[in-house]
Structure 1
Amino acid sequence: MAKKNGNGKQKSMEETLWDSANKLRGTVESSEYKHVVLGLIFLKFVSDKFEERRKELLEEGKDKYIDMKEFYNMKNVFYLPEECRWSHIIKNSKQNDIALKIDTALHSIEKNNPTLNGALPDNYFSRLNMDVSKLAALLDTINNIDTLQDKQQDVVGRVYEYFLSKFALAEGKGKGEFYTPKSIVNLIAEMIEPYKGIIYDPACGSGGMFVQSVKFIESHHGNKREISIYGQEYTATTYKLAKMNLAIRGISANLGDVPADTFGRDQHPDLKADFIMANPPFNQKDWRAKDELIDDPRWNGYEVPPASNANYGWILNMVAKLSENGIAGFILANGALSGGGEEYKIRRKLIENDLVEAILILPRSMFYTTDISVTVWILNKNKKEQTRQIGDETRLFRNRAKEILFLDLRQMGEPFEKKFTQFSVGDIEKIAATYHTWQQDDQAYENVPEYCYSASIEEIEKKDFSLVPSKYIEFVNRDENIDFDEKMRALRSEFSELLKAEEQSKADLLKVFDELGYKIDLP
């Protein structure tokens, strides 16, 4: 009988797999076991692809080629020696040395396929000393996934996306930076429309921006061979996640030879990108020593970004990488909209140089690592009249020079995982449509109170070059629309939960003292 979740519904494949993976908890940190689980999913997927191709060769009478790498690589399939195949792992799954066999398989796959260099977990399984029975149970669960069952549904991609999201949720504040919530990535892709050309992410995490770019291309009947992907990631384990994430989807990318700091070791110094999508670390401190990077060519004509905060360092890195018609969509903490000092001077020059096209303030609680409200920036190197080809459409973009579109999205979004917010499909369609209408049709676009406003550079100059949307968007008296009964019921429910938790904590503490022989009598 199929297992059911808390709502009484049959559990999805992703939920069942997550439950099995969760059994590893206790002996393995969540920040570690994501590499264990995702490494195994990757191994199952590449094995299934290998066996499928091997069967094809046999059916075509090409028996003598079944152990030649070239006949697999030509179909974008990784060649796997006997000891690397999933069938070998499953056959030995109950053996005490199964962890060593998995490590050997992953190492051998990477060695035999140069494009996977630096991508796979390195001795994770042996080093983590996992319970053999729990690891065997996880292998059995993964064995039930038919990764090739429905190519249209991208089964492995779906599982991978689910796990990245769940791991980010599990790790929470201060961790989980490898993952940008999917609905925000979707929104940026729908706005800047990365259809053809070079795509770049200077802080690529697990590669979600690239995955969504390719999905955008496919949904508009484009050809992913007409894009080139470049990225960089500082954290070694996250660099591996990104390489695996892209490999299982057949996406080629240049993420640099090694994981490295984008500022200290830029691995794409001469790159000019048509599209940039990024979610760099918020308010990164001590990103450069006081006297370092003073003459960096990326600051070309701008002030040197302050050493105390990397926000404007990231902005200028992206400005330097944009092609003459390039567009960037990226996420930053709200403080970058109005900071003083060097940040003010850089922001003012960005506005005067007519690079800022749109500013979107997002709802709170969209990120798993912080509950603050953050901002999406859209930079455009060419805001003048032009045509662009998106799929079968030829679009005329109006001259929007010396104007900036402000969008306040704080009243949008839907609940997600109880305490988080995400954009619905309808939200994304509405926001992208507003932006594209503003770009393309002067007659159809109109300012809407509490939602959007198109400001001239003159207006922004009068506001001392602040990019805070609420300084431009009209707000009406919201008190008239507030349902106080509903608000009070929500507060009462939340307060009740807090009191219950406090009572439980008190009872647990008293029980501990009682068991130690120190009974406490409360007044």
Structure 2
Amino acid sequence: MITKQALGSTLFGMADILRDKVEDYKAYILSLLFFKRLSDNYEWENENGIKEFFAEHHREPTAKEKSIIINKKHDFKIPEGCFWRDVREATIDKKNEALHKAVTGIAEANVDKDGRFFLKGVINTVRWNEPAPDGSGGKKLSPEVISLLVSYLDAVDLSNKNATVDILGDAYEYLIKRFADENKGGTTAGQFYTPQEVVDIIVRYLKPQKGNVVYDPTCGSGGFLISAAKYCHANYGNPKAIRLNGQEDVWNTWAIANINMILHGLDAKIEKGDTLLQPKFRDEDNELAIKKFDLVMANFPFSQENWWKNGEPKKDAKGKTINKKDGSPQLEYPGKEDFKDPFERFIYGIPPFSNGDFAFLQHIVSSLKEGGKAGVVCPQGVLFRGQPAKTEEEDGQNRKADDEYLIRRGFLQGPIDSDGESKELHNIIDAIVVLPGNLFYGTTIPGSILFIDKNKPKHRKDKVLMVYAAKEGWFKEKPNMNELQPHDMLRISTILESWGDLEIAKEWIATQKVRLWALIQEDLGYKLSEIEEDYHEDINSYSERIDKLRKSLASKEAEGKKPTKSELNTLGTLNAALEKLLNQKADKIMDTHDLAAKERKAIDDVERELITVLQDPELWKRYFSIVDMQELEENEFNLYIPRYVDTFEPEEQIDLKKALSEFKATMKAESALDNSIVELLDAISQYDQK
């Protein structure tokens, strides 16, 4: 059975073949992986079915019986001529055509009970037979490259015999993360991947239950949905204890999400389309009513401009388009008087067309059942953008309230009527976590997590928990991108879970420590396997060359011949090179073990830190705050965290007596040094005079 580390390394090795040859090479690799998985497993299931028949009936099945076995065994159909072997055995000049025919044939052959071709656009999202754009008559991806990719992957058996859904799914996720890491600064990484640590915090606070229907309106590669299924697997022994639904607008990302679900063995419904303009999940009895879910988890595109696609380029007096600094046109938008959302999602107010944050948030709120909950990653601007109404006496402007202010106030107090008054007092904001900047792929904008609960417990109805997780030391600063580590996740999740209750915190920490230690151990094993993979080939190569040379020298000695100086030098060089490699490998292994030990210690340190803090309410304000509605009203519903949590780092306390003593000692030492220099110069002067 192949390990996920070995499979992940093998798959990522294919990236080296494709780099600089196609734009979005991850789609090529993931699509090819999916095709081979279906093909390998189909043939293994056939063999297994026939073996089972023979074991039961003690004979080979007839042609008719064999056909029945094959039809019963598979979740997917593969027509003749569309197997992996057909592509592998195709001549080099027919490689592109054979691969195109295979994936297209499979896409056309798989139809569900509703007549939907559920693999169309999934397995055949890549155009393997696309002509070169230069008109040369060649292919965009040369047959030589395809042949190399096929040969590379052909060595790995991807059937259940050698790769379970867990191994395959984990390797696939590993691959997606590696692709995101490679493109940290690019916009595409953020489209399909949310850091797993953030996903984990959200899933564990929402706690998916058996029978829940879960939804992600901007699902990317499906990370939230996969994590929710894994949570159910860990807690109920069944990853299918919940139903999974997602929508994604980018074709390749939509395909990746579908493949991700299938490889994890999950039954998920992933729809393609723009969630704001074309929400695909609607009530069965009313096409204009949004479908309701138990849980929603999302990381929508931050501050999406022109989300209703009604912006027009702004023109100057001469009719020339006015551009922004980045070269894109400035847009202007129509008034909101005639705007109407056909799905009636914007009950708290119409968001500005130039920024989609509150459009996505209101879509999410509309997608929740009356007792539903949501965990949403969003930019911190949603916490404070927008201004309340001000009279002329207050600010001299007689200003109307901004739309974003009214929407945020609506989340805290309920929808507002035409007179600006709440129709009903109903706070749906449960908790807020402010995250460090530069944590998300494709943007440096500081993010936050907004937890929404449409049916908050009675004792929390007029309260909001605010957690400041952007404190120095609460995340790992890295040159390209910051990271949350296991102990950071423990700190955030404990505050969320406990709401300041020490006993709840103790129980939570006890369970989470075991889980996080297991994750650290798993990560340790993974990294050690990667080190082994990285050095295996080179160490084996040097070892074999040394062994071969030693045997040759031993044979010469047996004949009474002496080794030449050149041979001895070569042996010494090879031994030195091997020793260097072994030392490098040993150092990396030691560093990896040290890092795991530090992470385990950090978890213990955070446990002690949290117990100390939760025992002293005076210390709470440096970590979190439970804010009531009165305080929120006093702050005009501005949720800017520094208004409620002490975000300033305390100045280091200085022991003045100790500092004065150290200063005197330093001055005394400096004076003694000056005297020594003067004496030395006098001695030199006297010597010169002689």
Structure 2-normalised TM-score?
A: 0.61
Matched, 1:211 2:226: yes
Whether 1:131 aligns to 2:128 is no
Alpha-carbon distance, 1:153 to partner = 7.7
Mark the CA change 1:474 to 1:129 in structure 2 (over 3 Å): closer, same or farther: same
1:241-278 Cα shifts (integer Å, max 9, x gaps): 2111111112222223xx22112112113311110011
- Which residue does 2:239 correspond to in 1? 224
Distance 1:45 1:467 in 2: 49
Q: Secondary structure at the match of 1:368?
A: coil
Assess, with a 3 A threshold, how the Cα gap between structure 1 residues 152 and 247 changes in structure 2: closer, same or farther.
Answer: closer
2:359 is the counterpart of 1:313 = yes
Please say if 1:458 is aligned against 2:630.
yes
Distance 2:477 2:86 in 1: 43
Q: Which amino acid aligns with 2:304?
A: Q
Which one-letter code corresponds to 1:282 in the other structure? F
Residue 372 of structure 2 aligns with an amino acid whose one-letter code is: G
Which residue of the partner structure matches residue 278 of structure 2?
265
1:446-485 deviation per Cα after TM superposition (whole angstroms, max 9, x unaligned) = 5634322111111111111112222211245444299xxx
8 A contact 2:232–2:242 mirrored in 1: no
The alpha-carbon distance between structure 1 residues 241 and 293, as it changes in their structure 2 partners (threshold 3 A), is farther
Structure 1 position 99 matched with structure 2 position 93: no
Q: Which runs of 5+ in 1 are unaligned?
A: 1-10, 386-398, 483-523
TM-score of the superposed pair, with normalisation by structure 1: 0.79
Higher helix share: 2
Residues 175-227 of structure 1 show CA distances to partners (whole Å, capped at 9, x for unaligned) of 22122222221221112112331101111112111111111111112433332
User: Pick from 450, 474, 478: which aligns with 2:646?
Assistant: 474
Preserved contact between residue 346 and residue 359 of structure 2 (Cα < 8 Å): no
Is the contact made by 1:277 and 1:329 (CA closer than 8 Å) also made in structure 2? yes
Which residue is equivalent to 2:559?
none
- 1:384, distance to aligned residue in structure 2 (A): 1.4
8 Å Cα contact 1:234-1:262 kept in structure 2:
yes
Q: Are 1:331 and 2:377 matched, yes or no?
A: yes
- What is the aligned length? 450
Deviation string for 1:275-298 (max 9, x for gaps)? 001111110111113457524444
In structure 1, how many angstroms separate the alpha carbons of the residues matched to 2:648 and 2:500?
A: 26
* Aligned counterparts of 1:269 and 1:439: Cα–Cα separation in 2: 39
Q: How far 1:320 sits from its partner (Å)?
A: 0.7
Are 2:248 and 1:247 equivalent residues in the alignment? no
Q: Give the counterpart letter for 1:278 in structure 2.
A: A
Task: Describe the superposition over 1:476-514 as per-residue Cα deviations: whole angstroms up to 9, x where unpaired.
Answer: 5444299xxxxxxxxxxxxxxxxxxxxxxxxxxxxxxxx
CA distance in 2, matches of 1:152, 1:103: 27
Shift of 1:415: 5.7
Change (3 A) 1:313 1:253: same
Task: Give the 3 Å change call, closer, same or farther, for CA 424–443 of structure 1 in structure 2.
Answer: closer
Instruction: Identify the residue that residue 663 of structure 2 maps to in structure 1.
Output: none
3-state DSSP class of the match of 1:284? Answer: coil
Is the 8 Å Cα contact of residues 31 and 125 (structure 2) preserved in structure 1? no
Question: 1:440: Cα distance to partner?
Answer: 7.5
Determine if the alignment matches structure 1 residue 47 to structure 2 residue 39.
yes
- Residue 157 of structure 1 is matched in structure 2 by 169
Native 8 Å contact 2:31 2:126 kept in 1: no
Q: Give yes or no for contact 1:298–1:316 (8 Å, CA) kept in 2.
A: no
Compared with structure 1, are the counterparts of its residues 362 and 56 closer, same or farther at alpha carbon in structure 2 (3 Å cutoff)? same
Verify the 8 A CA contact 2:28 2:126 in the aligned structure 1. no
Offset from partner CA, 1:50-92 (integer Å, 9 cap, x none)? 122111211122563544564134xxx3232332222333333
Q: 2:236 matched to 1:236?
A: no
Partner of 2:16: 22
* Aligned equivalent of 2:497, options 427, 430, 436: 436
- Which of 50, 61, 79 matches 1:58? 50
Query: Cα distance, 1:328 vs. partner?
Result: 0.3
Q: In structure 2, what residue type is equivalent to 1:139?
A: V
Contact 1:360 1:469 in 2 (8 A): no
Matches of 1:479 and 1:87 in 2, distance apart?
A: 68
* 1:88 equivalent in structure 2: 86
Amino acid at match of 2:122: A
1:169 aligns with 2:181: yes
Residues 1:160 and 1:123: Cα distance change in structure 2 (over 3 Å): closer
Q: Deviations over 1:366-385 (max 9, x none)?
A: 22201221111100111115
Which whole-Å CA distance do the structure 2 matches of 1:331 and 1:119 have between them?
A: 27
Q: 2:223 & 2:143 partners in 1: Cα distance?
A: 32
- Does the CA contact (< 8 Å) of 2:92 and 2:144 recur in 1? no
* Contact 1:173-1:368 within 8 A present in 2 as well: yes
Taking the aligned partners of 2:42 and 2:504, their CA distance within structure 1 comes to 55
Within 5 A, what are the aligned runs for 1:342-357?
A: 342-352=403-413, 353-357=426-430
Query: Which of 100, 105, 109 in structure 2 is aligned with 1:108?
Result: 105
SS in 2 for 1:220: helix
- Which letter does structure 2 place at the counterpart of 1:23? I
- What CA RMSD, in Å, does the superposition of the two structures yield over aligned residues? 2.6
Matched, 1:407 2:467: yes
Task: Specify whether residues 298 and 378 from structure 1 end up closer, same or farther in structure 2 by C-alpha distance, changes over 3 A only.
Answer: farther
**What's the CA shift for 1:414?**
3.3
1:201 to 173, 194, 216: 216
TM-fit CA distance, 1:421: 2.4
Larger Rg: 2
Instruction: Select between 112-121 and 190-199 the one with higher mean Cα deviation.
Output: 112-121
Aligned partner of 1:275 in structure 2 is 295
State the distance in 1 between where 2:635 and 2:477 align: 35
